[in-house]
Each structure stands twice: as structure tokens, then as C-alpha cells.
């Protein structure tokens, strides 16, 4: 198994029967692969089936066709190898922070005694900066803190893949920023393979190594794989100062605004097994935009 196909989605489709007969196809013949240790991000409009793709990867949903191979094995159902961070954090409200994480830890290592489980859980509580809140219940936590618990719970079972379904979309901008920093730090530290869904372009640009662009549904296709040209040591604060920033951003925005609607009709020969990989960089069009950049940068100040 080649290492650049740690996750390999092979020709999956999702179709729903309609009450009137016939079927609705959310997406068809989707191929996608990702090497170990990378951060991948699907971006697309609502209804393109990106959540379905993630749920299939998690094992919570089944494809109508095709298979998903993770680390050389076809998946069937959910697994402790694939942790999910839910959009709505999905903490169990009758358990404390410690209880929620210990529940995950004891589910993975069933023979561990209580002390060992709690010690292991504590490492991840500390990692996401919740030290001192171990005995609080989810109702006593802010939205950002709840999602930190969700992240700690996912990390605590040391999964092969971490799956995130728009994890920060319910949070305010400031909290979202800090949590993005945390996720970036933790995933870089541990070399965690991560797969995320978002509709926030800046979030994708900051976090992802590869950005998968999906066209609009129904009948959505994976149109392009965008390689992130920004350096690995990028930081959220001066992301926009990087020379490639606007090239990348404009490319994605262009896709979302116009090409996601027209892609299927203008690209009839699109081969879903060989999706073009692009690496947006300074082109002529962007160079002309470069003169605008300083004023844009100053406008954000």
C-alpha cells in the first residue's frame, strides 16, 4: 500500500430513492485519496453531500456504491480508529468533562483500571487547555470550551484519522480563531491525519494541506484538488501577508461563486478518477491584483 493513499475513497456514490419513484443522486463515482499525516479539507456549498462523505468515512453512513479503504483495509461500520468531532460537539450532558473523555478512553482500552483511564484523559484535557474544568458539566461550559472537550475526546483515543464536521461553525469569530490555532498546533505536533468539512475559505486555507473542491449537488463531483502553497509554519495572524494568499483565496472563491455551478456543464470530459491537482500561485491575473494588495491589507487593519 503506497503511503500517499492512507485514506482512499474509491468510487463511492450516494443515492436516495424518491417517494415518486426514481432516485436522487447526491454524488456519484467519487474518488479521493490522502496520505498519512495530512490535513484534508472538503469545501463546497450546502447540499453537495460533503457531510455524507464524512459520515461514510466515519462509518455512520453507508455508500450506495464503492468502498473506502483506510490504512489498507476496507472499512465497515464505525471504528475507534476514526474519531469524529461533531458540529454540535455532542457531549453527554450528564457526564462531567472528565467523564466524557474517560468514557471514550475506557471504550478504547476496556481493560484499563479507573486510575489509568483518568490519567490518560487528563493528558488530553491539559492539551486542549481545560485544566481545572475537569469536574464541570457541559452545561457550565461556553461553546468554545464544549468543542475543546469534543476535540480532546477525539484525540484521547489516538485515532488513525480525525474527522471534523464543520466543528467551528457554531462558534463566534474570536473563539473560532483560537480553536483553529489549537487544532493546527495539536495536529502538527502529533502528525494527526485529519479530514475536515467546512464552508469557511480562510479556515480551509489556514488548516488544510489539501483542499478538495466539490461542485453543487445534486450530482456533485469532486472538481479539483487544491494544494495549499502557503508555508507549513504559517500563522493565522499574518496569513494574508503571504504572497500566495490572494492567489489561493481568489481561486477558491472563484470556484465557490461561479465554477461550482457551471463546472459540470463546461467540463464534460471530467474524469473523476484523475481529478486535476492545482497549486495556485502568482499568475498574470493575480500580479495585477498585487498592486491592490497593500491597500487591502491596510483596510483590514
Partner 1 sequence: MITSLRVRAAVVSIAIFLAFIGVWHLATRSTGTAATMSPEYAKLMGLTANTGKSAMPGPLDVGAKLWEHLKQPFYDNGPNDKGLGIQLGYSVGRVGLGYLIAVIVAIPLGFLIGMSPLMNKALDPFIQVLKPISPLAWMPLALYTIKDSSLSAIFVIFICSVWPMLLNTAFGVAAVRKEWINVARTLEVGTFRRAFTVILPAAAPTILTGMRISIGIAWLVIVAAEMLVGGTGIGYFVWNEWNNLSITNVIIAILMIGLVGMLLDQILARFTRMVTFPE
* Cis amide bond preceding 3, omega within 30: no
Span interacting with partner 1, options 89-97, 119-127, 232-240, 242-250, rule CB under 8 A: 89-97
How far is Cα 287 from Cα 246, in angstroms, rounded to an integer? 10
43/84 with CB nearer partner 1: 84
Contact present, 126 and 71 (Cβ < 8 Å): no
* Cis amide bond preceding 218, omega within 30: yes
**Within a 10 A sphere around the Cβ of 74, how many other Cβ atoms?**
10
How far is Cα 64 from Cα 10, in angstroms, rounded to an integer? 12
Contact present, 273 and 217 (Cβ < 8 Å): no
Site residues for partner 1, 132-161, by CB under 8 A, read 137-139, 157
In the list 31, 86, 112, 282, the residue contacting partner 1 (rule: CB under 8 A) is: 86
- Residue 79 lies near partner 1 (rule: CB under 8 A): yes
Span interacting with partner 1, options 13-21, 26-34, 54-62, 274-282, rule CB under 8 A: 54-62
- Residue 60 lies near partner 1 (rule: CB under 8 A): yes
**23 to 42: interface string for partner 1, x by CB under 8 A:** --------------------
Q: How far is the CB of 104 from partner 1 (least distance, A)?
A: 6
How far is Cα 170 from Cα 172, in angstroms, rounded to an integer? 7
How far is Cα 216 from Cα 275, in angstroms, rounded to an integer? 16
- Residue 107 lies near partner 1 (rule: CB under 8 A): yes
43/105 with CB nearer partner 1: 105
Nearest to 223 by CA among 287, 178, 268: 268
Strand partners, 73: 70
Nearest to 190 by CA among 158, 218, 220: 158
146/251 with CB nearer partner 1: 146
Contact present, 13 and 28 (Cβ < 8 Å): yes
Q: How far is the CB of 241 from partner 1 (least distance, A)?
A: 39
In the list 48, 53, 83, 223, the residue contacting partner 1 (rule: CB under 8 A) is: 83
- Residue 88 lies near partner 1 (rule: CB under 8 A): yes
- Residue 73 lies near partner 1 (rule: CB under 8 A): no
- Residue 229 lies near partner 1 (rule: CB under 8 A): no
Q: How far is the CB of 92 from partner 1 (least distance, A)?
A: 6
Q: How far is the CB of 138 from partner 1 (least distance, A)?
A: 8
Nearest to 96 by CA among 127, 140, 126: 140
Q: How far is the CB of 86 from partner 1 (least distance, A)?
A: 6
How far is Cα 295 from Cα 301, in angstroms, rounded to an integer? 10
Interface residues with partner 1 (CB under 8 A) are 58-60, 77-80, 82-84, 86, 88, 90, 92-94, 103-104, 107-108, 137-139, 157
Amino acid at each position: 500500500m503506497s503511503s500517499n493513499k492512507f485514506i482512499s475513497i474509491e468510487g463511492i456514490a450516494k443515492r436516495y430513492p424518491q417517494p415518486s419513484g426514481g432516485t436522487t443522486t447526491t454524488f456519484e463515482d467519487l474518488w479521493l485519496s490522502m496520505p498519512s499525516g495530512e490535513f484534508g479539507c472538503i469545501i463546497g456549498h450546502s447540499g453537495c453531500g460533503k457531510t455524507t462523505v464524512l459520515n461514510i468515512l466515519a462509518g455512520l453512513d453507508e455508500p450506495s456504491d464503492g468502498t473506502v479503504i483506510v490504512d489498507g483495509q476496507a472499512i465497515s461500520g464505525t471504528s475507534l480508529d476514526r474519531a469524529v468531532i461533531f458540529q454540535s460537539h455532542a457531549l453527554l450532558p450528564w457526564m462531567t468533562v472528565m467523564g466524557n473523555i474517560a468514557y471514550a478512553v475506557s471504550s478504547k482500552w476496556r481493560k484499563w483500571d479507573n486510575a489509568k483511564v483518568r490519567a490518560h484523559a487528563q493528558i488530553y484535557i491539559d492539551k486542549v487547555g481545560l485544566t481545572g474544568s475537569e469536574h464541570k458539566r457541559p452545561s457550565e461550559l461556553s461553546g468554545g470550551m464544549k468543542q475543546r472537550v469534543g476535540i480532546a475526546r477525539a484525540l484521547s483515543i489516538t485515532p488513525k484519522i480525525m474527522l471534523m464536521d464543520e466543528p467551528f461553525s457554531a462558534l463566534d469569530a474570536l473563539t473560532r480563531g483560537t480553536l483553529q490555532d489549537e487544532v493546527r498546533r495539536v495536529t502538527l505536533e502529533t502528525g494527526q491525519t485529519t479530514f475536515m468539512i467546512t464552508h469557511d475559505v480562510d479556515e480551509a486555507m489556514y488548516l488544510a494541506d489539501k483542499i478538495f473542491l466539490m461542485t453543487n449537488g445534486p450530482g456533485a463531483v469532486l472538481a479539483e484538488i487544491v494544494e495549499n502553497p502557503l508555508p507549513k509554519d504559517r500563522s493565522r495572524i499574518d496569513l494574508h501577508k503571504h504572497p500566495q494568499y490572494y492567489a489561493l483565496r481568489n481561486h477558491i472563491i472563484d470556484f465557490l461563486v461561479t465554477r461550482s455551478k457551471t463546472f459540470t456543464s463546461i467540463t464534460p470530459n471530467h474524469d473523476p478518477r484523475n481529478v486535476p491537482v492545482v497549486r495556485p500561485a502568482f499568475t498574470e491575473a493575480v500580479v495585477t491584483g498585487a498592486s491592490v494588495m497593500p491597500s487591502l491589507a491596510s483596510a483590514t487593519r
